[in-house]
Chain A
Amino acid sequence: MTREEIRAVVVEELKRVAPELDPAALDPDALVRDQVEMDSLDLLNFLTAIHRRLGIDIPERDYGELATLTRIEAYLAGRLAAAHS
């Protein structure tokens, strides 16, 4: 899976929990929480969707890795590569 494909899945699922989100306006290096209004239940729904679509189960201790879009992508790419090696 390429980084672009991962990003597409992430943005699609972010938009599902926050339908008002404009993906074009999303700054990949700014904090997601400043750009997308999500409560803890939204975050859980997002993680559930990522688990379902990519097979990656993000544990609570890694929530800190999910600060920006770029970091989410890097984290997921790393986990996917580890799963396939």
Chain B
Amino acid sequence: MSTEFRMPSLGADMEAGTLVHWLKAPGDRVRRGEGVAVVETQKGAIEVEIFTDGILDRQLVAPGTTVPVGTPLALIRDGGEEPAAPSLPPSAPLRATPGARRLAAARKLDLAGIAGSGPGGAVTEHDVEAAPPVPRRAAPAPPALDLAAMRQAMAAAMARAKREIPHYYLTATLDLGRARAWLGAANQARPPERRLLMAALLVKAAALAVRRSPEMNGAFLDGAFRPGAAIHVGFAVAVRGGGLVAPALHDADKGTLDELMAGLRDVAARARAGTLRSSELADPTITVTSLGDGGAEAVLPIITPPQVAVLGFGRETVRPWVVAGAVAARPTVVAALAGDHRVSDGHRGSRLLAEIDRLLQRPEEL
């Protein structure tokens, strides 16, 4: 029995993707969660993972081809079966005109590396003519991030959010005195590569708080709210030059702060390099954005559809604060929640912010 490995949807507004290159060849064993192909999307090059175990039987789409979401990219057969065809079978649907094949052979070009402009994505003689003279089977470099396309994708998602989601907004100023003191002590004994950032504490507190507010975690699809089975926090990462992407920190409520911090550094680095994985784009059940040091004092974020809530933290700011009846200078942060009125309301949302505040007063338990 074989299953199809398809072009995934990596966001509400993705309609098509371009296969950049294969990470697995026919005959290779593939395991659930492994990257099988790299696909170029508006959010950069994404490693597409597979959700079954088996053996890659046949590749159905050649590198350079743009196909709609849902298109089968490869056939995967069960591990125990004989191959349906030898690797790289002649039936591989690499479409090219006879003239294109002749010209490619004469110029020692790999047809699979040429984008086709003919019917059904077929490579034409003209496409071969226009192709740069690259050596056969040269490893393709991942495409550079297209910031304009990234901005466009974000704008489309935000326009949809503003059109469809009845947002409500709540803010609360939280005392970070204990969290900052705990962080300073924890970091004192750590070299820079193991230091924690306040963002990790904020994400952890948010994820733990969401456990008690399941109506903030999940997706609103086809007119109904579907609670998330796990808490995957989309962490907003700014990309130099103006892009923004929010890859998932999977099960953010479960790991230790060190694990969360390692995950945060990892996704931030890969978001900026344009090498995120498909599950990281598709899985977030709620988003957290933290402006950090250079940011404004508060952010009122917009929900990313189909999610139903987003939390925004402004810059950590020292403010006069009343502690035990006396005014003291304390580090504080403005936390903002944007919620979806179809699923929750200001009363429920207030409880979420209060729970985050409570958790941040016990940083040692995060």
Contacts and interface: CB of A to CB of B under 8 A. Distances in A.
Contacts of A57: 191-192
Interface of B: 184, 187-188, 191-193, 195, 197-199, 238, 240-241, 264-265, 268-269, 292-294
Nearest to A51: B192
Interface residues of A, number: 22
Nearest to A49: B192
A51 B192 CA distance: 7
Contacts of B198: 40
Interface of A: 18-20, 33, 37-41, 43-45, 47-48, 50-52, 57-61
Contact of A44 (B184, B195, B240, B241): B195
B240 A47 contact: no
Given A40-B199, A40-B292, A51 B191 contact: yes
5 contacts: A39-B293, A40-B197, A41-B268, A52-B193, A57-B191
A44 B192 contact: yes
Judged by DSSP, the binding face of B is helix
A60 B240 contact: no
B293 A20 contact: no
B293 A40 contact: yes
Contact of A37 (B193, B269, B294): B294
A19 B197 CA distance: 23
A33 B188 CA distance: 23
A58 B192 contact: yes
Contact of B197 (A18, A38, A44): A44
Given A33-B294, A60-B184, A60-B187, A41 B265 contact: yes
Given A39-B294, A44-B192, A48-B192, A20 B197 contact: no
Given A40-B199, A41-B265, A59 B294 contact: no
Contacts of A50: 192
A59 to B, nearest CB: 7
A37 B292 CA distance: 12
Given A33-B294, A60-B184, A47 B192 contact: yes
Given A40-B293, A60-B184, A60-B187, A20 B240 contact: yes
Contacts of A40: 197-199, 292-293
B7 to A, nearest CB: 31
A60 B241 contact: no
A39 B193 contact: no
A20 B197 CA distance: 24
